[in-house]
Amino acid sequence: MKAQKSIVLAIALVLIASFSASAQMHEHGKMNPAQKMESKKMMKADYPIDYCLVSGEKLGAMGEPVKYDHNGREIQLCCGGCVSAFEKDPATYVAKLDAAVITEQKESYPLETCVVSGGKLGSMGEPIDYVHNNQLVRFCCSGCVEAFEKNPDEYLKKLNESSSVKSDATPESSEKMHH
């Protein structure tokens, strides 16, 4: 009995120490790889469609969807058989996914300005809708797309911060922020 209490106490102390170290590392901006991975997951948009790009089947209808990495971008397919079909013509399937992302995210897009230049969207013609890792990013011009591609994390941080501000804001305070 005494040995069990000692073991439980030792485990509790280890957990407290590791939690404290983890909190200190996060507090000072130094995240371990697991924390960085979790941070990236939080920033990533949810998968935008519920069907397979190749077969049209509902994702999950044939078991757990296959998660496929295409140039760093998550693609979900209904089964392993669809991976080879996707690989034969990825541009077609990525274009379908991009269109779905734009349709789903455009209405709730949090900014009225270009994430790169800060200029009002539409001030230089029709805004450019661009999809980065299944997240819509809108630009005033193609030059801003090029700047974004050089350092996407910097601009995605701005976009995600504005998204959380917009969802927390009341309509009244939102109007004040844009004037």
**pLDDT tens, 64-75?**
999 999 999 999
The pLDDT assigned to 1 comes to 56
Beta bridge partners of 155: none
Q: What is the mean pLDDT of residues 125-149?
A: 94
The pLDDT assigned to 164 comes to 66
CB 65 within 8 A of CB 51: no
Confidence of residue 169 (pLDDT cuts 50, 70, 90): very low
The pLDDT assigned to 161 comes to 86
Buried b (16+ CB within 10 A) or exposed e, 131-142: bbbbbbbbbbbe
Whether residue 114 has pLDDT greater than 50 = yes
Angle at 156 between CA 173 and CA 36, to 5 degrees: 115
Q: What is the mean pLDDT of residues 12-20?
A: 38
Whether residue 13 has pLDDT greater than 70 = no
Whether residue 122 has pLDDT greater than 90 = yes
Q: What is the DSSP track for 73-110? A: EEEEESSTHHHHHHHHSHHHHHHHHHHHHHHHHSTT--
Lookup: tokens for 68: 């496929």
Q: What is the mean pLDDT of residues 171-177?
A: 40
Whether residue 18 has pLDDT greater than 60 = no
Whether residue 171 has pLDDT greater than 60 = no
Whether residue 89 has pLDDT greater than 70 = yes
Amino acid making up residue 132: H
Cα Rg of the chain, angstroms: 22
Could you state, in order of their start, the residue ranges of all structural domains in the chain?
47-105, 108-179
- Residue 43 backbone phi and psi in degrees, to 5: -80, -25
CB 152 within 8 A of CB 130: no
Quote the pTM value: 0.64
Q: What is the mean pLDDT of residues 128-155?
A: 94
The pLDDT assigned to 40 comes to 38
Q: What is the mean pLDDT of residues 92-104?
A: 95
CB 144 within 8 A of CB 117: yes
Q: What is the DSSP track for 135-153? A: EEEEESSHHHHHHHHHSHH
